[in-house]
Chain A
Amino acid sequence: MSAAADTPLRRLAGDFVKSPSAVVAAIGLVLIVLAAVFAGAVAPQNPYDLAQIDIFDGSLPPGSTGFDGFHYLLGTDEQGRDMLSAIIYGLRISLSVSFISVSVAVLIGLVMGMLAAWRGGWVDSLIMRIVDIQLSFPALLVALLLLAALGKGVDKVILALIIVLWAYFARTVRGAALVEIRKDYITAARSQALPGWRILFGHLLPNVMPPVIVIATVQIANAISIEAALSFLGVGVPITEPSLGLLIANGFDYLLSGRYWISFYPGIALLLTLVCINVVGDQIRDILNPRMQR
């Protein structure tokens, strides 16, 4: 089992490098994630340490040099905050919100989806009816209304995203699990009278993972853009923990007076992140798609 386990992974990596654009996107994504994780070391300034911000450096265009000789590559916002640093810190919030919510949603989706497929009957009907109803509404709208009820906050955004996203995974997992359950290895495991949870997690789980991985990459991008939109609309993260979406929203007011950089560069960062994830996700999907393998 363990000897065979690394072969598909190696094959995956081998197929992946065949697409140059996917490799470039993957490298870009790794750099973006590293910058976000080590924001404190990478960013030239801590944008939330008031001691490092100089109000006299407010609204400087990109490439300006500040009052005390500090070079602002991407300019500053109205409070004199270095935009590059604000973007790197904002990236950290955007990425961690989406990563945490997708991870929890995957877990819930796996449990619910496998449960529905395994138990069938009314359990299946109930879970899938909830999933169907939820998926018939746009994720952004559901999240928006949830946050209208819950109020602002990073934790609340994460909660709203989990509630919105789990249904995608549950549906995918159930579909994959229903196919797998009919296969011989599950019948074999059942005939050994293994306990249900061991069949589910030991035998079924590894085999439903490929489609889950595909959906998860797409949904991380989805989560990032929903979070950004919510924050832009003013129901997302609070001003003390600004994500990229909130940075863009803050720059909105200055756009009309020509100070484009306050909105422009956070948007570019957001766009690059999403393009990298989508290109990588497309490639993973093409590799894992059983139809393409034939």
Chain B
Amino acid sequence: MLKYVLKRLLLLIPVVLGITFIIFVVLNLAQGDPAVMILGQDATAEALAAKRAELGLDKPLVLQYIQYILGVLHGDFGTSWLGGYEVLPEFLHRIPYTILLGSLSMFAACIIGIPLGIIAAIRQYHFIDYASLALALVLFSLPSFWFAMMGQILFCLVLNWLPSSGVGSLAHFVLPSITLGANILASQLRMTRTSMLDVVKQDYIRTARAKGADERRVVVHHVLRNGMLPVVTQIGISFASCMGGSVITETVFSIPGIGSLLINAVKGRDVPVVMGTLIFIAVFVGVINLIVDIIYALIDPRVKLTA
């Protein structure tokens, strides 16, 4: 097991390198001179040239990239071109918000989506099944920012139950979690339902019934235990995708997490911040997937982690 974990962690390195290199190239190919963004339109041509030299922009791309990576290996993620702050501390300061937002969204989505999916599967063809499917369709199709705004109008302006933006208490995270979680809820629901329905058709369920197990035992002991396996994987994937999906939510609700950090950095062509953020996201997703795989191996006796 340990060997497997180590191997997976080591494999993350080429993945991260690949991603960062591609992003690095894309950022540099995109139009936009960071020197102008930093110094403003008052800058003289000389000042701009000097700035570009200072940032190392006149060196060949590969060299710039290697320098950056070497810096990272020493723990130096550089300083933001636009804000002047050091990337790593800023990052660590903002991460908890995004993780909190992601966790709450996942929690809300799973707490509603999974049980609903189970019930929909057990009561297939009944009202609750159709209602759940309709709900999933609606939640999946509506854009998250629409949700966000409708939520703000309803719960903040009209009902005055929740604060509309910012971060100061858990109440501030209710609407953002719902916004981000809506999409995830839909996919969890469908995934759970499909998985459960697949399992219910299996022969061993019939065997269980033939043994005299009552419906409750069949569902809880036999169907759920098998049906939940793919759902676990799905949770991992959804959580990783929360990282990306948080961009819109953080922007609308003014949450200072890494999603809003990333979008502003991209808009301003702030390469160190973009790179740093992406490295983190890549590592985070990789680790989450690793944990999910391990959990899966632990709960499904058929799965062996081969090193």
Q: Is B truly associated with A? A: no
